[in-house]
Chain A
Amino acid sequence: MRVGIAGVGFMGSTHAAAWAETEAQIVGFVAETVEEAQPIAQQYGARVFPDFASMLEAVDVVDICTPTHLHVPMILEAAARGKHIICEKPLALSVEDALEAVRVCRRAGVQLYVAHVVRFFPEYALAKQIIAQGQIGQVATLRLLRGSYRPKKPVGNWFLDETKSGGILMDLMIHDMDYARWVAGEVESVFARKVSAVHQGSPVDYGLVILKHRNGAISHVAGAWAYPPPTFRTRFELSGDRGMIEFDSQATSPIESLIIKPHAEAPDVGLPSSPVRESPYTTEIKEFYVALKEGKTPRVTAEDGLAAVQIAAAAVQSAQSGKVVYLESLGERLL
């Protein structure tokens, strides 16, 4: 299996490290400029392609790790060439675009997997399993929090351009919206508000979302790009009629460093990092690899990616309008 990776930022390099642990061959990379991609191509003994189209000719699978607004055009191009696709979350910035991506891939007969990596984090995967076993009964309320600082970028910070990233609701909080739907089922309505860059010198984005699920469960999702670097903190509390599950990344951190760092630096993007044997990103890519090789359905599909975009887009819409947004069923529009 020949893989090409589009985008060499944090996610492109993380996925490359994960692909290196499979039997797939990393054929090459493509980035905005050839120079940008050279160091990582060298690291993996792979090529740098001058553009996406030429990479498509040399691969079976593309892994799209570019800024969000570029996902759908690249998916359409790859599908037209009959290539399977791994796409970083969010699948798209709008429901229309996400629908088109899923439809086109179905018609082209290519696989499309969306990298909602939270489903592969061991703490989230285990909680899902415990709930699926019925250990806490029927889930009634879910509280999910993901908090860090505003993503930085050396140049052109697309994360902070809402036309490119969708902002905090779409880029960060979609993780927990997808997880809430995975655990508690389809979403009926969404209500959301956020604050963002209220004044210069306040590097704070914060969003709150309440989801009502069709089965009556209620999810509360909070997302912060508001904490001091290098903070990255996640918490959840899943309560059912026969028990509950709590998690706090800080409380479960097995190491607390009190080492004095004279020049403390933080990575561009805050990351959760509890020491585990295999990176959740690697678990994810391995599962996608096996799915492509053996035709097994992975735990997150194109339709899941679409549903997550639908919820997040509803949150964006609700935050703008101040109204509750009710979700329509997309089933027929997928045909």
Chain B
Amino acid sequence: MSIRIGIMSFAHLHAEAYIQNLRAIPGVEMIGLADDDPQRGEHFARLFGAHRFRSYEELLEARPDGVIICSENSRHLPLVKLAAEAGAHILCEKPLATTAQDAEAIVRTCRQAGVLLMTAFPMRFSTPLLEVKSRLDGGELGQVYCFNSSNQGELPKKHRAWFVDKALAGGGAIMDHTVHLVDIMRWYLGSEVTEVYAVANRIFHADEVEVETGGMVWVTFENGVFATIDCSWSRPPYWPSWGGLSFEMVTDRGAVWVDAFRQNLTVFTHALQRPYWAFWGSDPNQAMIEDFVQAIRAQRPPRVSGEDGLRAVEVVEAAYRSVESGQPVHLERRQV
């Protein structure tokens, strides 16, 4: 029996990847999409030759097994509520919400409705990162002391204007680019963040946006490991790719340098007149979407949970408090 999946909103550009990932999986029926912006919905329905439901309710009436929610960050909660009420399992784009309160409500809603909830952290499925995790668990790398990490990118405005709108995105670079690395480190360490320090500025694209475009977030874990995360939108638009995710992991045996997006060809074309990187590594999105589908099929928890999403949002919220106060802040975790 095929697994039927719908996409709720194409506000986030990742929906454009996910729809293709879904179609690449045998036994999955991509039933269509709905969008509260009918023009956007129509545009992508046409682009991908997909059915467009006139409303989210209509999509849910078609009884999908699961939905992927790719609305603006601050609009995840209402869509989660609708989907959970309809009994659909949910893969929600990151960050899970723009506030810890909303993120907690999302986790609780899904738990009460008895539907699976997965946070879209594709880096958990990155093959270089999985390899490091396996070497770490195998004891080959020693005991972790700290991380020096980066998830920099270009200004995402060219993809979607709302990415730089505080009301919809929840913030700027810190909101956009802190959660992946926080999640990777929680996954690697099996420990939770207890303290957060952050600094931010608005020098890149100062004349274009109101939110912070430069930022560094410092997290300390319960087990004593500490880490810096450069979340800046510091990559110029003519950088060879959108940005990247890399880190140095320091252990009692030395250090490991890891770049999740280094498996590239460097391509020079007359058309572009500058080099760009063509990624030939394994697509982590594909593996993530497959896990979501398999979790539904087997009625087992997905490999990334809603709580994982909540924990990352808590760190982001603490980072903004630290930017305000100029001092490290203690993080109180919500009970779910």
Q: Is B326 at the interface (CB under 8 A from chain A)?
A: yes
Is B250's CB under 8 angstroms from A189's CB? Answer: no
Mark out the residues of chain A between 160 and 203 whose CB falls within 8 Å of any chain B CB in the assembled complex. 189, 191, 193, 195, 198-199, 202
Report the separation of the CA atoms of residues A212 and B150 in the bound assembly, to the nearest whole angstrom. 18
Report the separation of the CA atoms of residues A216 and B215 in the bound assembly, to the nearest whole angstrom. 11
Partner of A145, one of B148, B218, B220, B254: B148
Report the separation of the CA atoms of residues A226 and B146 in the bound assembly, to the nearest whole angstrom. 12
Residues from chain B with Cβ under 8 Å of A210 in the complex: 197, 199, 216, 218, 228
Partner of A140, one of B145, B214, B228, B328: B214
Is A220's CB under 8 angstroms from B250's CB? Answer: no
Is A218's CB under 8 angstroms from B216's CB? Answer: yes
CB distance from B225 to the nearest CB of A (A): 9
Q: Is B166 at the interface (CB under 8 A from chain A)?
A: no
Is B145's CB under 8 angstroms from A195's CB? Answer: yes
Task: Mark B294-336 against chain A: 1 for CB-CB distance below 8 A, else 0.
Answer: 0000000000000000000000000000000011100000000
Is B203's CB under 8 angstroms from A241's CB? Answer: yes
Main SS class of interface, B: strand
Mark out the residues of chain B between 220 and 260 whose CB falls within 8 Å of any chain A CB in the assembled complex. 220, 226, 228, 230, 232, 234-236, 248, 250-255
| Centre residue among B146, B150, B199, B220 by max chain A CB count within 10 A | B199
Size of the chain A interface, CB-CB below 8 angstroms: 36
Report the separation of the CA atoms of residues A210 and B206 in the bound assembly, to the nearest whole angstrom. 22
The total of Cβ contacts below 8 Å across the A-B interface reads 106
Residues from chain B with Cβ under 8 Å of A212 in the complex: 199
Is B250's CB under 8 angstroms from A226's CB? Answer: yes
Chain B contact residues (Cβ within 8 angstroms of A): what range?
35 or more
23 A–B contacts, CB within 8 A, in A order:
A140-B204, A140-B234, A143-B150, A143-B230, A193-B218, A193-B220, A193-B226, A195-B145, A198-B252, A202-B252, A208-B146, A210-B216, A210-B228, A212-B199, A218-B214, A218-B215, A222-B248, A226-B255, A227-B255, A239-B204, A240-B203, A244-B236, A322-B328
Q: Is B205 at the interface (CB under 8 A from chain A)?
A: yes
Which residues of A are interface residues toward B (Cβ below 8 A)? 138-141, 143, 145, 147, 189, 191, 193, 195, 198-199, 202, 204, 206, 208, 210, 212, 216-218, 220, 222, 224, 226-228, 239-241, 243-244, 322-324
Is B203's CB under 8 angstroms from A217's CB? Answer: yes
Report the separation of the CA atoms of residues A334 and B327 in the bound assembly, to the nearest whole angstrom. 29
Is B203's CB under 8 angstroms from A140's CB? Answer: yes
Main SS class of interface, A: strand
Whether A244 touches B248, Cβ cut-off 8 Å, given contacts A141-B216, A208-B146, A216-B203, is no
Whether A244 touches B145, Cβ cut-off 8 Å, given contacts A191-B197, A217-B201, is no
CB distance from A270 to the nearest CB of B (A): 13
CB distance from B323 to the nearest CB of A (A): 11
Q: Is B98 at the interface (CB under 8 A from chain A)?
A: no
The residue in chain A whose Cβ has the minimal distance to the Cβ of B234 is A239
Partner of B236, one of A139, A193, A243, A322: A243
Is B232's CB under 8 angstroms from A140's CB? Answer: yes
Report the separation of the CA atoms of residues A208 and B219 in the bound assembly, to the nearest whole angstrom. 12
Report the separation of the CA atoms of residues A241 and B232 in the bound assembly, to the nearest whole angstrom. 12
